[in-house]
Amino acid sequence: MLANRKIRILIVDDSAIVRKILTEALSGESDMEVVGTAPDPFVARDKILALRPDVLTLDIEMPRMDGLTFLKRLMHFHPLPAVVISSLAQRSCRAAVQALEFGSVEVLAKPGGPYSVGELTQVLASKIRAAASARVRRKEPRPDHPPPPATPLRLPARSSAGTVFAIGASTGGTEAIATVLTRLPASSPGVIITQHIPPVFSKAFANRLNEICALDVKEAEDGDVLRPGVALIAPGDYHMLLRNSGGRYTVTVKPGPRVCYQRPSVDVLFFSVAEAAGNLAVGVLLTGMGSDGAQGLLKMRQAGARTIAQDEATCVVYGMPREAAELGAAAQILPLAAVPQAMLTG
């Protein structure tokens, strides 16, 4: 968080109505101020230089230059924490997930999507606080021909039957999860994942991972079987729990109250994994703001699971892993690049 001053926000959206809704949604936040708005990226570029915002909100579909193109240029020349606010159209959802790859730290649905204006106020403020504390890095322009995907690691010959990998993440987590999953082999133990992400975007995120991973990745549905070679991602706005029936793992996907202000909640997942898989589980807590997952990771460690937290240097936001480290929940604290090998080999 920025010390002793308000978070300065620039709102970039071609809709005057949306600019007004977002400005009003943030007007009651004592630690924030909207310093300007822009109807397109060209106006935004000038206002970024003139107003020096800490965070910008960014629409995807805009005239003259789309938000994705602008984000790529911004993250290369003038890295700045961005919260993408996108419609729920299929094309926009895919673009929003791409925006996370290109450096956006959060993604939200536009008003009129899954959020009422009242709900948007609370969610938007928390996303902007997370973005303001994020460590953003300069992104190199992507080549016309993307590099080949990462080569998956080998599964040890003596891997335990019934092993489950459980991963939790929030701010910055979509790319961290991609880094981990692309290194896991097709024969990997089943992976169960909770990432704080809104409804609909979670499906686009799962589909994107399925394209680049050796694992079969899908958005979880109630009753899905978790088996080796499969990764299940909690759908936005639903908790996901692991169940064990005679050594067969399935998932329960259900509504319920928010836990640590989140739905889906990493704690809900990790507590269920501790009960269902015990010492056969490996728990991994990646980058994110807040404390969700820390108590659950501790419960997993107490149940005999191996537990890992991402280190501060490689986190976009060192919040959830820090809480886990302070509780003694993480047996290992590792840079992101070392996490997949540690999951596979201990």
The pLDDT, as a whole number, for residue 157 is 55
In DSSP terms, 332 is beta-bridged to 308
pLDDT tens digits for range 157-182? 556 678 999 999 999 999 999 999 99
| DSSP labels, 180-234 | HHTTS-TTPPEEEEEE---TTHHHHHHHHHHHH-SSEEEE--TTPEE-TTEEEEP
Q: Write out residues in the chain with pLDDT < 50, as ranges.
A: none
Check: CB of residue 110 under 8 Å from CB of residue 87. yes
Q: Domains in the chain, start-ordered, CATH in brackets?
A: 7-132 (3.40.50.2300), 164-345 (3.40.50.180)
pTM: 0.91
- Report yes or no: 217 and 210 within 8 Å, Cβ to Cβ: yes
Q: What is the pLDDT of residue 313?
A: 96
pLDDT at residue number 147: 57
Residue type, 296: G
Residue 213 and residue 276: Cα distance in Å, rounded? 26
Q: Please state whether beta strands 82-86 and 55-58 pair in parallel, antiparallel, or not at all (unpaired).
A: parallel
Please give the pLDDT value at position 110.
Answer: 80
The pLDDT tens digits of the residues spanning 28-79 come to 899 999 999 999 999 999 999 999 999 999 998 888 888 889 999 999 999 9
Active site (catalytic) residues: 170, 196, 292
CB 321 within 8 A of CB 315: yes
pLDDT at 23: 93
Relative orientation angle of helices 201-212 and 90-102, to the nearest 10 degrees: 60
Task: Classify the C-alpha dihedral 142-287-91-71 as positive or negative.
Answer: negative
Indicate the DSSP class of residue 318. B
